[in-house]
């Protein structure tokens, strides 16, 4: 646990008592704060009270007396579509609102660091797609090269549940827009922006608000190095904002598909090869084509971002390349489950939106595509240009019949359930085919989350 600093004898209110909320309450108490807590769910409140938390009804004005700060969980709206009533009350009373990310960045560094030979560092990763894989890949590379490292944030351990820093340690954090939007302190040593595509637009009042939430990690965080994907206009803009001149190598530009040989420092992937350029000259090259855990152009972009972040903390190209080959990927993200009778089965249950599904479809040939679930606004018609590699689609869930109307001339079968989809796809697949779960839809019609959907697919495939 990382005790929160600067809160001794203060009354701090915590809103939301899920995993991060309970960890935050414990870290605040460890820092000497008087913690009061509230959650909208009665069962959650009762469980927290049983764990010893002081439950105080923050819907009542009288209970705000003496509160100096409100700490809210990331999933609770603080501005759009409208602030949660308790957050709105804090605004009205002039009480600062923060989250666990802000508390982490103001508490991680301690006076004990003066005794270390190498100061610990923080790499923070944000973006729309690929940030979990990029975060996990950076963490894996650091582990493989013997650097002390921890991983947390939106993946793995909550930030305040991490252990205090070791000499030379690198903490790798995945940060969502929900987390970066509100944090009052953001001070990573290396900040990574993977890419941008429309997501969470209601929470941020549109694409501009969504990008602004991501941008805070850079504009307000002031990282020593900024690793920025420049395949979208927003990334190009952000790289320009962070650079003092074309020769400024504090910004490492990253691309999948573009040759970037004019920037002061760049890492890009083309035709399956990663290249690092510095001051117009190639510094390193890695063949990514045979790396099973990083299939497709979208994972090559993740590899470039992870490579750049690891170079920024002093790792050598050959160290990074060796670690790439032992990376197995994350569950539910282009995860090869098994190969059976010459057929590859891939679980990309995390591909819940159009952009992620398009990238998954571009990563494989001769695809038997399992898609569907609870469709999102706009449908999947935009995927038609990416369906040339699909031999047949097997459509499941609430939006299966809607999807059937939007995939053009692609052969399909409405099978409704995952069991039927896996059975039909495996029965019809031929050697060299890939059975790909890339739903392009949310899971909530049939599963509590995308993880459970992917686990069901995996269990069915392993049972073939």
Q: Which residues are annotated as a binding site?
A: 127-133
Strand pairing of 273-278 and 265-270?
antiparallel
Question: How many other CB atoms are found less than 10 A from the CB of residue 65?
Answer: 8
CA distances from residue 106 to 137, 188, 202, 268, 387 in whole angstroms, order as listed? 26, 11, 29, 34, 48
Widest CA span in the chain: 69
Given the residues 200, 376, 392, 398, select the one marked as catalytic: 200
Evaluated on CA atoms 139, 319, 360, 180, the torsion sign reads: positive
Nearest to 130 by CA among 219, 194, 71, 212: 194
Active-site option among 154, 195, 347, 353: 154
For the chain, how big is the Rg over CA atoms in Å? 23
User: Catalytic: 131?
Assistant: yes
How many C-beta neighbours within 10 Å does residue 432 have? 10
Give dist(CA 105, CA 82) in Å, integer: 27
Q: Report phi then psi at 286, rounded to 5.
A: -135, 130
Q: Residues annotated as binding site for ATP? A: 127-133
Catalytic residue, from 131, 139, 214, 298: name it.
131
Query: Active-site positions?
Result: 131, 154, 200
């Amino acid at each position: 646990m990382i005790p929160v600093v600067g809160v001794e004898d203060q009354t701090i209110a915590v809103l939301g008592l899920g995993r991060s909320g309970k960890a935050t309450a414990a870290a605040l108490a460890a820092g000497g704060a008087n913690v009061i807590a509230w959650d909208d769910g009665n069962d959650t409140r009762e469980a927290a009270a049983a764990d010893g938390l002081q439950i105080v009804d923050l819907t009542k004005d009288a209970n705000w007396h003496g509160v100096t700060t409100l700490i809210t969980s990331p999933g609770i709206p603080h501005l759009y579509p409208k602030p949660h009533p308790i957050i709105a009350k804090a605004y009205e009373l002039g009480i600062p609102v923060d989250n666990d990310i802000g508390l982490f960045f103001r508490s991680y560094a301690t006076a004990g660091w003066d005794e270390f030979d190498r100061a610990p560092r923080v790499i923070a990763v944000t973006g729309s797609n690929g940030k979990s894989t990029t975060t996990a890949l950076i963490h894996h590379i650091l582990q493989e090269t013997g650097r002390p490292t921890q991983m947390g944030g939106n993946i793995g351990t909550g930030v305040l549940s991490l252990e205090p820093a070791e000499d030379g340690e690198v903490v790798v954090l995945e940060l969502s827009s929900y987390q970066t939007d509100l944090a009052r302190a953001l001070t990573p040593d290396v900040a990574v922006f993977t890419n941008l595509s429309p997501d969470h637009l209601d929470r941020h009042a549109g694409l501009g608000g969504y990008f602004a939430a991501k941008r805070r990690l850079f504009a307000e965080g002031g990282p020593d190095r900024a690793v920025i994907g420049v395949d979208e206009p927003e990334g190009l803009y952000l790289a320009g904002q962070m650079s003092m001149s074309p020769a400024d190598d504090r910004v490492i530009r990253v691309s999948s598909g573009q040759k970037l040989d004019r920037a002061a420092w760049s890492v890009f992937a083309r035709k399956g090869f990663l290249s690092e350029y510095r001051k117009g000259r190639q510094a390193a090259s890695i063949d990514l084509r045979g790396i099973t855990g990083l299939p497709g152009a979208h994972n090559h972009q993740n590899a470039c971002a992870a490579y750049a972040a690891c170079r920024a903390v002093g790792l050598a190209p050959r160290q990074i390349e060796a670690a790439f080959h032992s990376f197995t990927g994350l569950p539910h993200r282009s995860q090869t489950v098994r190969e059976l009778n010459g057929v590859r089965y891939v679980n990309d249950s995390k591909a819940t939106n159009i952009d992620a599904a398009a990238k998954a479809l571009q990563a494989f040939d001769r695809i038997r595509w399992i898609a569907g679930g609870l469709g999102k606004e706009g449908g999947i018609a935009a995927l038609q240009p990416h369906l040339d590699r699909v031999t047949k689609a097997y459509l499941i869930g609430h939006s299966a019949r809607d999807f059937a109307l939007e995939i053009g001339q692609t052969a399909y079968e409405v099978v409704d359930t995952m069991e039927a989809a896996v059975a039909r796809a495996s029965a019809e697949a031929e050697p060299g085919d890939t059975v790909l779960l890339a739903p392009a839809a949310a899971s909530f019609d049939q599963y509590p989350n995308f993880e459970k959907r992917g686990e069901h697919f995996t269990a069915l495939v392993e049972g073939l």
